[in-house]
Amino acid sequence: MTTGFVICEYSKVKAEFPEFSDMMASLEVSLRNKASADWAPLSYGGTKPMAGQYGKTTVMPEMFVGFGGYGTGSQLATWNQLYTSTGNNVLIEGNSSGGSIPEDFKLGFAGLAFLDKAIKVSEIKLQIGDKKLPRINLEEARAYNQPCIIFENGFVADEETGFELKGYVECRGYQRIKLIGMQLNRVPNKLQVSLTGAAIT
């Protein structure tokens, strides 16, 4: 897993990080190649898949449980969640067994955005499967209105693979952290995107 990243304003990421489009395109190719191999004979159907195809969406919050992690946290319906204690905590974790990505879904993960001016977290660390990202200090991010962290090279989070974002929470309250990237869905009807907060298992 790459450890290179940039911190910039979420609304200006495309302008201030011109490599972002190239990185996202490369990430999508890697993700689709893996899905086509793993989910054969299904083919890629984009955002409007037909029978015999898998689909693509942005990363959906329903794929995850929030504060407290798997077993104690609630499945997310939006990226907004309430931090009820301070210190080291799980902020976002896969909503399937052991905190993993549910079966029939694959993620292309490019970064994350803080959608609030006030950041209640001073540092974060991420683990996907056996890959660990070193701690990221968020002091620089406080200079932005909606800071985002974009990795120089995105990576694939496969189905049934652990996904855990931890952070050091400095104060209680609501915080919106959005995962940036794309999601491939083997069974599009299983996604139920019209039902906000629908269970994805």
Over residues 140-154, the pLDDT tens digits come to 999 999 999 999 888
User: Does a structural domain hold residue 88?
Assistant: yes
Domain that holds residue 105: 5-189
Is 199 inside any structural domain? no
pLDDT of residue 192: 55
> What distance separates the 2 farthest-apart alpha carbons in the chain?
49
Residue 55 pLDDT exceeds 60: yes
**Residue 200: inside a domain, yes or no?**
no
Q: Is residue 198 part of a domain?
A: no
Q: In this structure, is residue 12 part of a structural domain? A: yes
Residue at 194 is within a domain: no
pTM for the full model?
A: 0.89
- CB-neighbour burial class of residue 107 (10 A; exposed 0-12, middle 13-18, buried 19+): buried
Q: Do 120 and 171 touch, CB atoms closer than 8 A?
A: yes
Q: What is the pLDDT of residues 159-187, one digit of tens each?
A: 999 999 999 999 999 999 999 999 999 98
Domain count, the chain: 1
> pLDDT digits over 71-93, tens only?
888 999 999 999 999 999 999 99
- Sequence-ordered strand ranges (E) for the chain: 5-9, 43-44, 53-57, 64-65, 80-83, 87-94, 105-114, 121-128, 131-137, 147-157, 163-169, 173-185
d(CA 148, CA 11): 9
| 52 falls within a domain | yes
Whether residue 197 is contained in a domain is answered as no
